[in-house]
Amino acid sequence: MKKPYAESTLKRKYRETGIPKEVLEKLHLYFVACAHFYKIISVDEVWKVIERTEARQGKKELEEILNPSMLECIRNYSIEEHHRRMQDRQDEDPFGITELDFDNPDSEAQGRVWARIEKKLMHGVGGFMDLAQKIAAPLTPKGFQYQDGDYVLSREEFDKVIAIKERSCDRYFVLPESDFYEDGDDDRLFLVDISIMLEVEDGEILEFFLDDAVEILDKAYEKPVYIPDDLLCYIDDLYYEETTETDMMKSFLRKEFFSDRSDKAEEEEDELQILMFEINRIVRGVTISPTRDIDRVSKMLDDKGYVFSGFDQVERFIHLYMNLANNTRLPANKGHTPEELLPAEGMGMPAKIEFGPGIQNLLRSGEWDPKEMKRDIMTQANLPIELRGDMMREVDRALAPGEERVINATGTIVKGKKIKPNEPCPCGSGRKYKHCCGRRS
């Protein structure tokens, strides 16, 4: 990684390109969205993504471009950027965020403060309507009529910006292929989401690593690039595509884990959105391993206090999860879903299921009847016979007397000694434990 430029040097370098500030800011939005959506993508492919997205958009009116989802994503990004600037640069708080009383969010005074802040965030410089205008301004208006005032970004100018981005870090890195592979090309550059390369705790960077980026690169090799219509929605790192499959998963979680009390409806809907974001984050991880990922989702639900009430509920969840995983746009597929690349089969059912700590503890405590669970497993016609046999063995394994097993904080089952961070992960992924099952969420 090249040594970063000082802030003053960065500003001078950008001025020297001769590219208007608004164009530079829209390019930054594209880089953020590509980093969040693809996790790692070559700079050449980023250029193609921008060209094709701009050609699709054309010179539409702002109202035609910004649907409610896009507006919400721009709003969230704008607020997050304001917080980041305050933390990174210790700026003053011109919007008055610090006036909010987060310990008493429902007070009438709190509502007045937030209404004032919302107005500033919407219309102030750097606010989300300001960002919305930048999103609507065309950069590469090919295939439609444009006026003298429209800016046509050239590949040469794009490359100048990329060269500067190699010396800066802002939600993403620009790194050469040689950083990922010993025989990599120094001239082939990649845009990389910062979140898959840094281990951060309490605001401190603990480690910089390449494992996840390399794994995505290996799996995405020679696959075609998918460009979503809503690409710029991904400037908000909490955004996920709403599909039939996400709706089905939401309906399941809402029915099984939430009440119908009207006084809690808003609070529970917010919690449901958080659960869906966490599930989507796991689905879009680098493993494409249904078995491991189902275990991770089950552990996440356990940690939040959402425990399955019986095997029938587990079986329905597995099917809904596999449906969701088969129809989610994955970084390892360069944005395609498994169904799109393998329409006949998708991911299929997992080859193996391991019960997480929540299910194991329910069986051990007697809250779940193991005999009844085995009967339920054997009567599930939708499950392959091999998978049913594997699940029967999991029931026996959970109840096996005298077996030394430790369930660690991530839900990973290990036998005997504690695993050290730099040792190979026992799940068999081939990665270090600290970068696999032992990685902090």
pLDDT tens digit sequence for 89-99: 555 565 555 65
- Separation of alpha carbons 330 and 295, rounded Å: 19
337 and 206 assigned to the same domain: no
Q: Tokens standing for 195?
A: 């979140």
CB 293 within 8 A of CB 285: yes
Structure tokens at 185: 């090309």
The answer to whether the CB of 121 falls within 8 A of the CB of 79 is yes
Among 214, 212, 220, 224, residue whose Cα is nearest residue 178: 214
Residue 392 shares a structural domain with residue 268:
yes
Same domain, 251 and 166: no
- pTM (predicted TM-score): 0.73
Q: What is the pLDDT of residue 250?
A: 93
Same domain, 103 and 215: no
pLDDT digits 0-9 by tens, 334-357: 999 988 887 654 555 565 666 766
Are both 219 and 97 inside the same structural domain? no
Question: Do 312 and 167 share a structural domain?
Answer: no
- Span 365-371, average pLDDT: 76
CB atoms near residue 197 (< 10 Å): 21
| One domain, residues 107 and 189 | no
Neighbours of 152 (CB within 10 A): 13
Please give the mean pLDDT across all residues of the chain: 77
**Does 2 reside within a domain?**
yes
Same domain? For 308 and 335 the reply is yes
Residue 6's φ and ψ, nearest 5 degrees, are -70, 160
Q: Which residue has the tokens 């005997």?
A: 416
**Using one digit for the tens of pLDDT, what is the confidence trace for 169-220?**
888 999 999 999 988 899 999 999 998 888 766 556 667 788 889 999 998 8
Q: Which domain holds residue 200?
A: 1-40+149-239
Same-domain pairing of 67 and 127: yes
62: its two tokens: 């702002």
Q: Give the model confidence (pLDDT) of 387-420 as tens digits.
A: 677 777 778 877 775 444 444 434 344 444 456 6
Flag whether pLDDT at 309 surpasses 50. Answer: yes
- CA count, 13 A, side-chain hemisphere, 144: 14
Residue 53 resides in a domain? no
Q: Has residue 3 been placed in a domain?
A: yes
Residue 427: pLDDT band (50, 70, 90) is low
Give the contacts of 118 (CB within 8 A, at least 6 positions apart).
none
Assess if residue 372 is contained within a domain: yes
Residues 311, 387, 286, 336, CA torsion sign: negative
* 40 bridge partner residues: 192
Q: Are 39 and 213 in contact (CB under 8 A)?
A: yes
Report the C-alpha dihedral over residues 134, 138, 139, 142, rounded to 10 degrees.
170
Q: Assess if residue 50 is contained within a domain.
A: no
Q: Are 61 and 68 in contact (CB under 8 A)?
A: no
Domain count for the chain: 4
Please report whether residue 64 resides in a domain. yes
